Amino acid sequence: MSQEAVEALSRTNFTHWDWGIVAVYLLISVIIGITVKKYATGMTNYIGAGRSVGTWLGVATMTGTELGLVTVMFSAEKGYKGGFAAFHIAILAGLVTLIVGVTGFIVAALRRYEVLTIPEFYERRFGRKTRILGGIMLAFAGILNMGLFLQVGSKFIVGITGLSQDAGVVLPIVMTTLLVLVLIYTVLGGMISVIITDYVQFVVLSMGLVITTILAINHLGWENIFATIESRMGAKGFDPLAADSQFGVEYVIWMAMLGLVGCAVWPTSVARALAMESPQAVKRQYMWSSISFTIRFLIPYFWGICAYVFIVTKAPDLEALIPVDPSDFDAFGKPGGKPVGILYAMPIFLGRILPAGMIGVISAAMIAAFMSTHDSYLLCWSSVITQDVVAPLRRNGLSAKSRVALTRGLIVAIGAYIWIWGMFYEGGDDIWDYMAITGAIYFTSAFALLVGGLYWKRASSTGAFCALLAGFTAVLGLAPLRIALGKWIINILGFEGTDEAAAALLTSPRVGLTSVVLTLIVFVVASLLFPDRRWVETDKPGKDPNS
């Protein structure tokens, strides 16, 4: 990399004072984890916060979790590449969350079962084998889903602090430091620690989002932002259904499905519902969270748009380093001939426009977002393995103390995995599309089992088990697999299977939607062909086995 490129990437307003602000915030988070350790005894307290979370705290902690740094980064990537057309994802997410809040669809009904995890519901409704397979699938998909969180979040820190020019050396150090901090307070405090820190992070992050957005608009100007997108992207920068848009009808339908899944089926969101004080509180939580679910996408999309406008209108030194045109990407979406990927565009943009001092506060807010997502995901997947795979396989079960100890050990093990995966995995999907397809490995079958188990009395254990197996087809949506499968299909038909043709034949939304439909069909057909002899509803509160 030339000296001019190094200087361009290292320009930032980040100072020693800003490092101090970040350090103080991280210290506070660790102290919280140590302080609440004494309250994390039984599993109900450790992963369910005693089921005593009220509406407003529930809204804050759900927002703190779902507006993670990875969300900011993948949303900025979508805004950077798709312009204002990406806003349809945010609108759909908010609308679906509001509908779930008004109706209580899935989440309120699930809360009445007083379970701690979704696979625990599987056992009550479909039997132990379904719970174990469901737990394995959930843990596999969830851990794979968060595999890039650490890498992406660390890239934000590297970009905003001006260390991008030496990212190959600095990135592993940042990844290790952030992971260790998250592990400390998550392992110690469990869900109690998560909820308290999420609330603090919600407050800091909310202020950071508003202030940064105002400064970005002030720096670029409203007219310049819209005019640049119109001149550079045309209609596809505003309309997701435009003829040459990167989105299209299939993608919009897929995003509507993901909006429903993200609030009503995805375990980290459902974990908040299961920790609420009542089903009525769950409904109120989701109704109000629909606002934050919209904002968590809209503002980062806008930051990505602003980063694009900044680079093409005010930073010609960066335009030579970061991709800005479709021709800068190959068939897998990787930058061709440019030394820095677009994930660095937004943090570098913020590093240049935010004043010293303020940039430290914003960075602390983003690290807060990073930590609030990691703590919830680590706790969720580790508790699923403990509660829904290991414990059911033990003839005499596990004591509360053993469950907590195992969960803590698994948190550390999963942390080690995401460090390794983040260091070495190189895929071709946008981060958001990668997360959607890995999550689909779980949620395609979970959606069928939850809807069928809660609302259809003829749903059978055989149908549920077969649907879980059918959900594995979603893994074919990952770029390397769908490209290989697409080329194989094209070759079978007698044509030349190029990467471009394969990518056009099997898009991520097409594979994902096909998997959803296939799983629903398998679930219904298998339930009708192999009905259970009897079904007894077990949604009456009973003794909590997790205390």
User: Which of 427-431, 442-446, 457-461 shows the lowest mean pLDDT across its residues?
Assistant: 427-431
Q: Average of pLDDT values for 136-163?
A: 83
pLDDT at 54 over 60: no
pLDDT at 102 over 50: yes
Per-residue pLDDT tens digits for 254-294: 999 988 888 788 777 777 677 677 788 888 878 888 887 78
Per the CATH hierarchy, to which homologous superfamily does domain 3-529 belong? Answer: Sodium/glucose cotransporter (1.20.1730.10)
3-state secondary structure 182-217: HHHHHHHHHHHHHHHHHHHHHHHHHHHHHHHHHHHH
Distance CA 264, CA 448 (A): 12
Structure token pair of residue 221: 């100007």
Query: For 27-41, 158-172, 306-320, which range has the lowest pLDDT when averaged over its residues?
Result: 27-41
**Residue 400 · residue 41 · CB < 8 Å:** yes
Residue 56 — pLDDT band, cuts 50, 70, 90?
very low
Q: Looking at the chain, how many residues does it have?
A: 547
In 3-state terms, what secondary structure has residue 329? strand
Q: Is the pLDDT of residue 189 over 70?
A: no
CA distance 327 to 230: 18
Higher pLDDT, 368 or 423: 423
Mean pLDDT computed over 160-185: 75
CA neighbours closer than 13 Å in the CB half-sphere of residue 135:
26
| 370-382 residue pLDDT tens | 776 777 778 778 8
Residue that wins the pLDDT comparison between 241 and 499: 241
- What gap in Å lies between CA 490 and CA 312, rounded to an integer? 39
pLDDT tens figures, 190-238 = 545 555 666 666 677 777 788 889 999 999 999 999 999 999 999 999 9
Q: Answer whether residue 421 shows pLDDT above 80.
A: yes
pLDDT at 84 (0 to 100)? 95
pLDDT band at 62 (very low <50, low <70, confident <90, very high): low
Q: What's the confidence (pLDDT) of residue 50?
A: 43
User: For the chain, what percent of residues have pLDDT higher than 90?
Assistant: 22
The predicted structure's pLDDT at residue 194: 57
Largest CA distance in the chain: 74
Cα 546 to the center of its chain, rounded Å: 27
The arithmetic mean of pLDDT across residues 501-506, rounded, is: 80
Quick one: tokens of 218?
A: 């002030």
Reported as a pLDDT band with limits 50, 70 and 90, residue 366 is confident
Choose between 328 and 490: higher pLDDT: 490
pLDDT: which is higher, 314 or 183: 314
β-pair partners for 276 = 53
Q: Which residue has the higher pLDDT, 425 or 110?
A: 110
At 155, is the pLDDT very low, low, confident or very high (cuts 50, 70, 90)?
Answer: confident
Chain segment 511-521, per-residue pLDDT in tens: 989 999 999 99
Q: At what angle do helices 279-314 and 267-274 cross, to 10 degrees?
A: 140
Average pLDDT over residues 472-482: 85
Task: Using the predicted structure, report yes or no on whether residue 384 has a pLDDT greater than 70.
Answer: yes
- pLDDT band with cut points at 50, 70 and 90 for residue 188: low
Average pLDDT on 415-435 reads 78
Q: What are the residue ranges spanned by the domains of the chain?
A: 3-529
% of the chain exceeding 70 in pLDDT? 80
Q: Round to whole Å and give the CA distance between 330 and 61.
A: 39
pLDDT tens digit sequence for 323-340: 777 555 543 344 555 567
Give the pLDDT confidence score for residue 49 in this predicted structure. Answer: 42
pLDDT at position 22 is 84
Distance in angstroms between the alpha carbons of the first and the last residue of the chain: 58
Contact 259, 92 (CB under 8 A): yes
Predicted pLDDT at 333? 43
> pLDDT at position 411, please?
85
- The pLDDT tens digits for 391-417 are 888 777 777 778 778 888 888 888 888
Report the pLDDT value the prediction gives residue 104, as an integer from 0 to 100.
Answer: 86
Averaged pLDDT score across all residues of the chain: 79
- Asked if residue 7 has pLDDT above 60, the reply is yes
Per-residue confidence band for 547, with pLDDT thresholds at 50, 70 and 90: very low
542 pLDDT higher than 50: no
- Of 31, 82, 511, 112, the C-alpha closest to 301 is 82
